[in-house]
Chain A
C-alpha cells in the first residue's frame, strides 16, 4: 500500500478543499481591510461577521462573545493571563488539572512566577478529573477554574457540566480548552456553564493559525494584544479575513456532518481498539473506554519504546504519534500518561492514533497488521521483554 494512512488528526487535520475555496476570494479579490469605510471593505467586514455568527451558533453563544485569535494557544494564554490581571484584586488562586495542554500548564507556570497560586487537580486512571478534589480546592481567593473539555492525548472527555455547576455555585469563572472537542462533541456554553472557551480551526479541517476565545458577556477580561479597535477593542490587529472565513466554513461543515461523521469515527475507533487489545498481548488502552473523543485511540505496548514504533510505522506510510520522551524533546514521557498513573517505561511505549471519517476499515486492518509486526519486532529486540520471558 503506497498511500499514506493519516492517523494523527489530533495533531492537525487536512484543510478541506471547500474551506480553501471559501478562503481564496479574500486574498487577491476581496482584500479590503474590514475597518475601512469604503464600500469595497464592506465585503471583508460582512465575511468576518458571517464567520463569527456561524461559530457563535455552533456553541450557542452570541456572535459578540466570539473573539478571533491566532490559534488555540493564544486563546488559552489570553483567557488565563487576562483573567489573572482583571480579577487579581479578588484573589490570586487558579485551579486547573494535571493533564492540560502545555498552552495552559506553561501559562500557569508563568502566572505562578508572578505571584499567582495554582492548584493542579488529579485525574483518575481513566483520565477523569476528581470533582470532589476540585470543589475542595476552591478558596475565597479562587478566580478561575480552567479544565480542558477533552484530552488531546488520551481522548478522555471531562464532566464539563458538573464542573460548570461547581464553578457557578462558588461564583468562580470557568474556562475550558475545547481545542480537541470543538467539532467533535456537542457544546452549548449556557447549558454547560462555560464562561470562556478556546478553540482552533486546524483541528476541524480549517486552516492553521486561527482560533477563537469565547468570552461570556459581562466578564471583565481585557485586551491581550494591544493596538487598534478590532474585535471590540479586545484583540488588536487587522482581522485575518480569509482565515476567519475558512474557520467559519470549516465549522459550518463540521456542525452539519457531526452526527454522521463521529458515528463513523466511533465505529472505526472501536474496531481498531478491539483488534489491537485482543491480538497484541501486554497492551493497554489509555483513557476512558467510552467517555473518549470519537476519533481517539491511545495504547501502551509493554517492553517497547514509542519513537521506534513511530519510525517503523512511518516506513509503512502510517502517520501516528506517541507520548514517549523521545518524541517530546525531553527526558520525561507525557505528563498526561504519568498523571493517569502509568510508570515511566509503560508511558514510553505509548501510541496515539487519531482518526478521521476519511479513514477506512481496510486502513484499520492494514494498520493493525503493521503494528502487530512492529511490536513483535521491537519486543524481540527488547531486553525488558527478554527478562520478562525468562522469569515467566
Chain B
C-alpha cells in the first residue's frame, strides 16, 4: 500500500518530539477525522529554521508526511518554508495512495500554522501566509467515555 519511503519515515520518523521553548508551534487537523499534526520550530534572528520537531496522531501516511515535511523545512528560511507544498511532500515520499493525499495537505497546513504563530509572536507579516484553521478536538466528547 505504501512506498518504501513512506514506510521508512513512518517506522523511523525524523525530527519526532518537542522543542523546549520553541519560537513557534502550529497544530492542525481534527481528531474526529483521525489526524492531528503539531509542528514546533526554532527560528533564529535571520529567519532561518534551524530546528523543527513534530508530533502526529494519525495513520502511517500522516506520520510519514509530518516527518518528511520537517526535513523539507529544516535549514530553510521562513519564506522558503512557506513554498513547501503538499505536492513537494508527496513527491519526496515517492507518492501516496489517493485516499492519503489529504495527509500531505495537513503537513503543508502544519508548516503554515507554525509560521503563523511565529509571525504573530513577533508581530511581523509573512507575505502570502493565511491564518490556518484550528479545530483540534472535542474535550467534552472524550470525557464521556468510561475506561
| Interface contact tally, CB-CB below 8 A | 94
The answer, yes or no, to whether A302 is at the interface (CB within 8 Å) is yes
The answer, yes or no, to whether A95 is at the interface (CB within 8 Å) is no
In the complex where A307-B60, A381-B16, A386-B18 touch, is A345 in contact with B55 (Cβ < 8 A)?
Answer: no
The answer, yes or no, to whether B146 is at the interface (CB within 8 Å) is yes
Q: Are B34 and A325 in contact (CB under 8 A)?
A: yes
In the complex where A282-B147, A341-B144, A343-B144 touch, is A384 in contact with B31 (Cβ < 8 A)?
Answer: yes
Q: A382 vs B34: C-alpha distance in the bound complex, in angstroms? A: 12
The answer, yes or no, to whether B127 is at the interface (CB within 8 Å) is no
**Which range contains the number of B residues in contact with the other chain?**
20 to 34
Output the nearest chain B residue to A277 by Cβ-Cβ distance: B147
The answer, yes or no, to whether B99 is at the interface (CB within 8 Å) is yes
The answer, yes or no, to whether A25 is at the interface (CB within 8 Å) is no
Q: Which residues of B lie under 8 Å from residue A223 when comparing CB positions?
A: none
Q: Are A344 and B63 in contact (CB under 8 A)?
A: no
How many interface residues does A have (CB within 8 Å)?
32
Cross-chain contact of B57 among A312, A325, A341, A383 (Cβ < 8 A): A383
Most buried by B among A284, A329, A383: A383
Q: Are B145 and A326 in contact (CB under 8 A)?
A: no
The answer, yes or no, to whether A304 is at the interface (CB within 8 Å) is yes
Cross-chain contact of B32 among A284, A329, A344, A381 (Cβ < 8 A): A344
Q: Are A308 and B60 in contact (CB under 8 A)?
A: yes
In the complex where A284-B147, A345-B142, A384-B31 touch, is A324 in contact with B59 (Cβ < 8 A)?
Answer: yes
The answer, yes or no, to whether A30 is at the interface (CB within 8 Å) is no
Chain A positions 296-332 with a Cβ under 8 Å from a chain B Cβ: 302-305, 307-308, 311-312, 315, 324-326, 329, 331
Most buried by A among B11, B31, B146: B31
Q: Are B99 and A344 in contact (CB under 8 A)?
A: no
Q: A343 vs B145: C-alpha distance in the bound complex, in angstroms? A: 8
Output the nearest chain B residue to A311 by Cβ-Cβ distance: B60
Cross-chain contact of B34 among A284, A311, A333, A342 (Cβ < 8 A): A333
Q: A312 vs B144: C-alpha distance in the bound complex, in angstroms? A: 29
The answer, yes or no, to whether B116 is at the interface (CB within 8 Å) is no
Cross-chain contact of A381 among B13, B27, B33 (Cβ < 8 A): B13
Q: Are B146 and A284 in contact (CB under 8 A)?
A: yes
The answer, yes or no, to whether A118 is at the interface (CB within 8 Å) is no
The answer, yes or no, to whether B36 is at the interface (CB within 8 Å) is yes
In the complex where A345-B34, A386-B55 touch, is A312 in contact with B11 (Cβ < 8 A)?
Answer: yes
The answer, yes or no, to whether B20 is at the interface (CB within 8 Å) is no
Q: Mark B90-109, 1 if CB is under 8 A from A, else 0.
A: 00000000011000000000
Q: Which residues of B lie under 8 Å from residue A283 when comparing CB positions?
A: 147
In the complex where A284-B146, A326-B34, A329-B99 touch, is A383 in contact with B56 (Cβ < 8 A)?
Answer: yes
The answer, yes or no, to whether B45 is at the interface (CB within 8 Å) is no
The answer, yes or no, to whether A52 is at the interface (CB within 8 Å) is no
The answer, yes or no, to whether B112 is at the interface (CB within 8 Å) is no
Q: Which residues of B lie under 8 Å from residue A284 when comparing CB positions?
A: 145-147
The answer, yes or no, to whether A348 is at the interface (CB within 8 Å) is yes
Q: Are A381 and B63 in contact (CB under 8 A)?
A: yes
Q: Which residues of A lie under 8 Å from residue B100 when comparing CB positions?
A: 326
Q: Are B142 and A308 in contact (CB under 8 A)?
A: no
How near does chain A come to B29, taking the closest CB pair, in angstroms? Answer: 9
Output the nearest chain B residue to A329 by Cβ-Cβ distance: B99
Q: A386 vs B38: C-alpha distance in the bound complex, in angstroms? A: 10
Q: Are A348 and B34 in contact (CB under 8 A)?
A: yes
Cross-chain contact of B31 among A315, A341, A344 (Cβ < 8 A): A344
Q: Which residues of A lie under 8 Å from residue B142 when comparing CB positions?
A: 302, 343, 345-346
Q: Mark A354-383, 1 if CB is under 8 A from B, else 0.
A: 000000000000000000000000001111
The answer, yes or no, to whether B111 is at the interface (CB within 8 Å) is no
In the complex where A325-B34, A345-B34 touch, is A381 in contact with B56 (Cβ < 8 A)?
Answer: yes
Q: Are A343 and B37 in contact (CB under 8 A)?
A: no
**Apart from A305-B35, A381-B13, 7 more pairs, CB < 8 Å:** A284-B146, A308-B62, A311-B10, A311-B60, A341-B144, A344-B31, A381-B63
Supply 16 A–B pairs (Cβ within 8 Å), ascending by A.
A302-B147, A308-B60, A311-B10, A315-B11, A326-B100, A341-B145, A343-B32, A345-B34, A345-B141, A346-B145, A348-B31, A348-B34, A381-B55, A382-B55, A383-B38, A386-B38
B residues near A (Cβ < 8 Å) are 7, 10-11, 13, 16, 18, 27, 31-38, 55-63, 99-100, 137-138, 141-142, 144-147
3 smallest CB-CB distances across A and B, nearest first, come from A345-B31, A343-B141, A326-B59
